[in-house]
Amino acid sequence: MDSRERLAQLAREKGSSLASLSRMLSRNTTYLQQYISKGSPRKLEEEDRARLARFFGVSESELGGSQEKSYDSSGAWVEVPRLAIEASAGPGAAEQRELPFDSFRFSRKWLREHGLEAGKLSAVRVIGDSMEPLLREGDDLLVDLSGRAFRDGVYVLRLDGNLLVKRVTSQGAGRFSILSQNLSYPPITVSAEELELVGRVVWKSGRL
């Protein structure tokens, strides 16, 4: 399999469009599509290839690089995509397209110590004040998308077509409480059928 076919395969497996990956590289949205389908450019720029290799967790040689400059998938760092969506800590953010535009770099060892899988993480930004003081507007969240067995915690979730970040607790019998840290916002009780848990929040970053 040549490097173009391999890139297309990796994008499909990751569920990332070529246009969104091109944006992640700060390129025209057709950049990778033209590379794969038309052979233009003839080969990826070294920086682009290295970034894609880190994003997918593969060797640069799989994307046309030399073995000497390969990114070892067991190496020290993992790039987690930042998605161009916001999770509301307020009334709710309308449905948005989940496209990566940037990435955060995490220590592979740190992820392993916390039981997190490199390919099942993403980062989103908080808007609103309902989760203050725990989460503030502008904070970036690391979200575990692995679908582990539910336990009470802070989740990014979809409810009534809105994307929220809230504390979720089980009431038993298929019922859940959706709670805000800010006591100005009342709790909500929903059934499992009404609620989609996108992923559990496992880390945050934000300004002091």
CA 133 to chain centre: 23
What's 126's domain CATH number?
2.10.109.10
Same domain, yes or no, for 57 and 86? no
pLDDT at 68: 43
55 with 96, same domain: the answer is no
Q: Are residues 84 and 17 in the same domain?
A: no
Whether residues 50 and 82 fall in one domain:
no
pLDDT digits 0-9 by tens, 158-184: 998 889 999 999 999 999 999 999 999
**Mean pLDDT estimate for the chain:** 86
107 and 24 assigned to the same domain = no
Q: Give the residue numbers spanning the domain of 111.
A: 77-205
Per-residue model confidence as pLDDT tens digits over 103-153: 888 988 899 889 998 888 999 999 999 999 999 999 999 999 998 999 999
CA distance 66 to 59: 9
Which among 14, 40, 69 is the end of a domain? 69
**Range in 81-85, 90-94, 175-179 with the lowest mean pLDDT:** 90-94
**What distance separates the 2 farthest-apart alpha carbons in the chain?**
58
Query: How many structural domains comprise the chain?
Result: 2
Residues 53 and 19 placed together within one structural domain of the fold? yes
Looking at the structure, tell me whether residues 17 and 83 fall in a common domain.
Answer: no
